Amino acid sequence: MSAAEKLKRETGLNTVIEFFGGTKTLNFKPTGPFEAHELLLRGIPSKAMVHLIHTSTFTKNSKSMNVAFGFSTRTMQRIKAKPEKSLLNYEQSSRVWKFAEVLAHATEVFGSRSEAEKWLEQPVMALEGRKPIDLLATSVGVELVENHLTRLEYGVYT
């Protein structure tokens, strides 16, 4: 791995950690992908996910966020009601972490989190007119969104 790739990976990891409220909210400081893996196996603290939600503009459209996270409305309500008391399971943690990674990548591409969030909620021609946030419901959709972001990074718009 080149030094530039390593720096990009570290920057992305730090951005994801910030989206969750930092190491204090996560109760852990992952320094690389293996530590992130261990964190996801243990479970992300619910309060970290709630922080991610409350600092985003997606709170206006909780249905999209629930779909991207793979949570029912009731599950999301339960988690928000007692965020200090629980950990997400590893599947929930993985989905929420992946969402934060995609958001971090989009933030890098578009220059700000608010622009990235706007992009995620707008239909994209190159994604067959679908909203990127809606594609995050499946692993295939996540891959489509990530590939499109990479193409945008390199100036390929179709």
* 106 CB neighbour count, 10 Å cutoff: 24
Quickly state the pLDDT bin for 144 (edges 50, 70, 90): very high
Higher pLDDT, 60 or 95: 95
Query: Residue 101 pLDDT more than 90?
Result: yes
pLDDT of residue 59: 55
Q: What percent of the chain has pLDDT over 90?
A: 63
Which of 136, 38, 142 is CA-nearest to residue 93?
Answer: 38
Q: Give the residues across from 45 on adjacent strands.
A: 87
DSSP 82: S
Half-sphere exposure at residue 128, Cβ-oriented, CA atoms within 13 angstroms: 4
Higher pLDDT, 146 or 64: 146
Lowest mean pLDDT among 32-41, 44-53, 68-77, 107-116: 68-77
Query: Residue 71 pLDDT more than 70?
Result: yes
pLDDT of residue 73: 85
The CA distance from 16 to 102, in Å, is: 9
pLDDT of residue 2: 58
Indicate left, alpha or beta for 121 from its phi (over 0: left) and psi (-120 to 50: alpha).
alpha
Is the Cβ–Cβ distance between 61 and 49 less than 8 Å?
no
